[in-house]
Amino acid sequence: MEGDLPRRAQKMIREWAQMYQSDLLKMWETQEFKTFPGLEWGVSMNSYPRVETVKPLKDKCLLVAFRNGVKKVYDCKPLLEDEIFSPLTDDTLFRCVKTDQGGYGISWNDEIDLSESELWLCGVPLA
């Protein structure tokens, strides 16, 4: 996705697209168009557990503990290719990760953050 949308709006759109991915692909293949529910600002498409704590690990991974008791490991290495996340190659900055107020995600600074949905959906459960 490209454009000048705020990062939070981009996350909502990605979440919406992920939710309707199979329907969107079918619509593209058949060219039978239909309407999907819209987005509501500030309302998550799904309810994901909020983040309780985050701890940086080796190899640009994070240990994320959610409020429902589940712990997952999130690999940040694929993100580093994105210009927005490239500053995280600096280990000092990477280790500054913190949980956002309310547990709706994590952040390193005002420009670099991840939502709870991204961490929940793409994190690997701790065995």
Domain limits, the chain: 1-39, 51-125
CATH no., domain 51-125 = 3.30.2020.10
| CA atoms of 114 and 7, how far apart (whole Å) | 9
**Sign of dihedral through CA atoms 42, 121, 56, 102?**
positive
Q: How wide is the angle at C-alpha 101 spanned by C-alphas 16 and 68, nearest 5°?
A: 70
pLDDT in tens, 34-93: 887 765 544 444 578 999 999 999 999 999 999 999 999 999 999 999 999 999 999 999
Judged by average pLDDT, the poorest of 23-37, 66-80, 108-122 is: 23-37
Predicted TM-score (pTM) of the model is: 0.66
Strand pairing class (124-125; 113-115): unpaired
